[in-house]
Amino acid sequence: MSVANTLEGAADNGGLAWLMRRVAWGRLQRTSTFLATTTFGTAADAQDAVDHVRRVHTYVTGIDAEGVPYRADDPHLLLWVHAAEADSFLRCHQRYGAVPLDAAECDGYVADAARIAQALGVPDPPRTQAELDSVLDAYRPELRATPESREVARFLVWHPPLPPLARGPYALLAATAVAELPPWARRLLRLPRRGAIETVLVPPVGRGVVGTVRWAMAARR
């Protein structure tokens, strides 16, 4: 069953918002697992993860709100997802990581990430930070926010389906991620800047949260 058919059925039953939230949360979890596996796992584990995603992508098809068909294995869409992810991770590391990367190391990170992108079906992913910036600029005229994308953003930032004790740490992590979005992306998604609070509090909180995650991962090795 295609994504379009699934959403149509949910809308008929009055459950479109619920389904969108469920899909978004599951997607976030699966993407996190995929990134962790391809970054820290063995070569065999990474290849298994890539193969699984490519199989799943063959089934994800649909028609958007403007009547334009789409498919998850479209190289053009895959390149956008890859470029957005690589840019986001690089931005966050440079601000919250233990030691910022120099220019050569940034290029090295983008080149390493390109190997996964190519395995997923991106023919010519960017291999330097300059190329990455160029790819993102090229997509800008195509980007627009829909009511559905704004709803998903609000849900993931402010209403995650987590137990009460987990919501505090998650809120801090979400705030650090939102703070690193480019201004134009925040405007599209209507995620307002929180002024002095964000400028003063988010950087040290972000470094503390990321440092805790880094410590927890090191302790498990």
Q: Note the pLDDT tens digit of each residue in 133-168.
A: 999 999 999 999 988 889 888 888 888 888 988 888
Higher-pLDDT residue of 193 and 129 is 129
Q: What pLDDT was estimated at residue 39?
A: 86
The predicted model scores a pTM of 0.80
- Mean pLDDT over 31-55 rounds to 92
Q: How many domains does the chain have?
A: 1
Q: Domain for residue 198, yes or no?
A: no
Domain of 153, in residue numbers: 3-171
Q: Domain for residue 200, yes or no?
A: no
Q: Domain for residue 183, yes or no?
A: no
Three-class SS string for 7-65?
Answer: HHHHHHCCCHHHHHHHHHHHHHHHHHHHHHHHHHCCHHHHHHHHHHHHHHHCCCEEECC
Half-sphere exposure of 65 (CA within 13 A, CB side): 6
Q: Domain for residue 189, yes or no?
A: no
Token pair belonging to 53: 């995603």
Q: What pLDDT was estimated at residue 82?
A: 96
Please name every residue paired with 81 in a beta bridge, in sequence order, or none if there are none.
none
Higher-pLDDT residue of 16 and 56 is 56
